[in-house]
């Protein structure tokens, strides 16, 4: 037997979904996620826009995803189709992409290539202008979390980008499309509206991002499916935004200068009766002052639960006890800075005492592991900080049953105080990991992400149009790191602020 076909995969997944919407309309959207199905269906924003579009009169949305094996799909020239009707996405008048992070720009290119649509917006304009019958390619729209930091590298592929929270701007977009069919006039009109970025008009200059009205919160799942890591979990946000000031985080660019709370009564009223697993999603869920009330109601209803972000300084005996009752086995939180000094520098405000208390709560409630997320390569980081991380990791391991560090190289993001910081050399990051590995002597599990792919993320995160176009070159060459490296060889390095250059900072590794 050969590999399963798209139709076989689609039929299996659709049969297991709960909440799928099948609708026909005068204005159908192909709502695309440029990563595989398991990733896309874990996106709360993607599911929210799917529900909003299908709730509008004369508008509908069907989902499409990057194939699980993109190389095989390219080789067989598989046509990208939607799940709801198996219709080619190139047949839709509008294709809307949700981008979560920089590396998905390559997936966007893959999706457009598989659809037979010119990936670059300028190529689509040329094709439309040269067609004597006045036909045009679909309108390509981009939105998603990436728009809070730097969507400019994605701009060469977009006709229009919805910046920030899209609950209202996507409704405005639908109304504008219905009112104006002439593409240049439509784009010119959108460019004058808040929250709409039209690259052909704005260039690389971003207009302000949009904020959704509080009454439209919370975002929540529309479809439950077992075919994700969050199998059959209903996702909902009890808060949006963050009031903290971590200097590396794009959530500092909150649309309202802080965080917006959703009342527990509203959160609980929106959880379906048949949802047996509930995930609370947000940048600072444990900062919700009534979180124990929400957790208690979920657990006492016989449901399992999950939380997207646990702050060590907000963990209490009651909260961890409720997490255990809700099915938790691993307590996951973040330290981010390698040492207390580095955490102070980035204004993380997490102290050793908070992490030690989390380790103690982990053991007290019978959880099997404490997992900490960590960054290496922050500006100003020295070998002494790495040594402190090694020493403290062993101290944690004497308290918690097991300790694992999820380690990611620091990548500077636009619209943060650390914007313009350089990326530490890959070989230096590898040396730091080796130094840390030697320090913990196998008593702490290290789970590092690739410095090479973090470098690719950095080049896109700090880049503009040229960096974005390099994504197409890399994707079409095969998407390997060597392909990205070759593509970026033709693109100027990002400018680095002098005060943050790693070669001007003390480091003796």
Give the pLDDT confidence score for residue 129 in this predicted structure.
60
- pLDDT bin (cut points 50, 70, 90) of residue 242 is confident
Tell whether the model's pLDDT for residue 26 goes beyond 60: yes
Helix (H, G, I), strand (E, B) or coil at 324: helix
Q: Which helix (H) or strand (E) holds 190?
A: helix 183-191
pTM of the model: 0.93
Q: How confident is residue 501, by pLDDT bands cut at 50, 70 and 90?
A: low
Longest distance between any two alpha carbons in the chain, whole Å: 74
pLDDT per residue as tens digits for the range 172-205: 999 999 999 899 999 999 999 999 999 999 999 9
CATH 1.10.10.10 applies to domain 335-509: no
- Topology, domain 6-202: Rossmann fold (3.40.50)
Closest CA to 404 of 362, 435, 364, 366: 362
Q: Which CATH superfamily is domain 232-328 in?
A: tm_1862 like domain (3.80.30.20)
Instruction: Assess contact for 65 and 36: CB atoms under 8 A.
Output: yes
Cα 116-117-122 angle, rounded to 5 deg:
150
135 Cβ neighbours under 8 A, 6+ residues apart? 128
| 6-202 and 232-328 have identical folds | no
Number of Cβ atoms within 10 Å of the Cβ of 6: 16
Contacts of 433 (CB under 8 A, 6+ apart): 376, 407, 446, 448
DSSP string, 74-104: HHHTPPPB-TTT--BGGGSSEEEEE--STTH
Q: What are 282-307's pLDDT values in tens digits?
A: 989 999 999 999 999 999 999 999 99
Give me the residue spans of the domains in the chain. Answer: 6-202, 232-328, 335-509
What value does the mean pLDDT of the chain take? Answer: 93
């Amino acid at each position: 037997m050969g590999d399963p076909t798209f139709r076989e995969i689609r039929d299996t997944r659709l049969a297991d979904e709960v909440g799928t919407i099948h609708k026909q309309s005068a204005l159908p959207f192909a709502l695309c996620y440029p990563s595989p199905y398991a990733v896309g269906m874990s996106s709360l924003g993607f599911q929210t826009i799917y529900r909003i579009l299908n709730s509008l009169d004369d508008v509908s949305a069907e989902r499409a995803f990057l194939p699980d094996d993109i190389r095989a799909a390219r080789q067989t020239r598989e046509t990208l189709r939607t799940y709801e009707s198996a219709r080619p996405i190139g047949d839709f008048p509008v294709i809307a992409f949700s981008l979560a992070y920089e590396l998905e720009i390559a997936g966007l290119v893959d999706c457009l290539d598989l659809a037979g649509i010119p990936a670059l917006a300028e190529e689509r304009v040329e094709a439309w202008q040269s067609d004597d019958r006045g036909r045009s390619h679909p309108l390509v729209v981009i939105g998603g979390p990436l728009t809070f930091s730097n969507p400019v590298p994605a701009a060469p592929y977009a006709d229009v980008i919805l910046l920030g929270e899209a609950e209202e701007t996507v409704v405005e977009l639908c109304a504008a499309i219905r009112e104006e069919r002439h593409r240049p006039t439509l784009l010119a009109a959108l460019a004058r509206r808040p929250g709409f970025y039209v690259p052909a008009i704005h260039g690389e200059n971003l207009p302000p991002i949009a904020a959704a009205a509080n009454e439209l919160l919370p975002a929540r799942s529309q479809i439950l499916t077992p075919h994700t890591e969050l199998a059959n979990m209903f996702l909902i946000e009890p808060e949006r935004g963050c009031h903290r000031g971590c200097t590396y985080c794009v959530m500092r660019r909150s649309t309202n200068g802080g965080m917006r709370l959703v009342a527990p009564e509203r959160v609980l009223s929106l959880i379906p009766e048949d949802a047996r697993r509930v995930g609370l999603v947000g940048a600072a869920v444990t900062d919700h002052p009534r979180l124990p009330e929400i957790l208690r109601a979920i657990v006492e209803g016989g449901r399992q639960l999950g939380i997207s972000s646990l702050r060590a300084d907000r963990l209490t005996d009651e909260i961890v006890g409720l997490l255990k009752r809700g099915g938790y086995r691993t307590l996951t939180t973040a330290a981010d800075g390698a040492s207390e000094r580095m955490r102070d520098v980035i204004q993380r405000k997490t102290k050793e005492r908070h992490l030690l208390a989390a380790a103690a709560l982990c053991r007290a409630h019978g959880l099997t592991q404490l997992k900490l997320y960590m960054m290496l390569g922050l500006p100003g980081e020295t070998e002494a900080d790495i040594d402190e991380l090694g020493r403290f990791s062993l101290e944690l391991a004497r308290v918690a049953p097991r300790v694992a560090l999820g380690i990611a190289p620091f990548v500077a993001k636009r619209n943060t105080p650390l914007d313009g910081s350089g990326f530490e050399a890959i070989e230096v990051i590898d040396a730091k990991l080796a130094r840390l590995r030697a320090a913990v002597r196998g008593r702490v599990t290290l789970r590092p992400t690739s410095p090479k792919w973090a470098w690719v993320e950095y080049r896109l995160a700090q880049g503009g149009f040229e960096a974005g176009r390099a994504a197409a070159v890399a994707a079409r060459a095969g998407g390997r790191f060597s392909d990205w490296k070759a593509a970026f060889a033709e693109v100027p390095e990002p400018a680095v602020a002098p005060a943050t250059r790693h070669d001007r900072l003390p480091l003796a590794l």
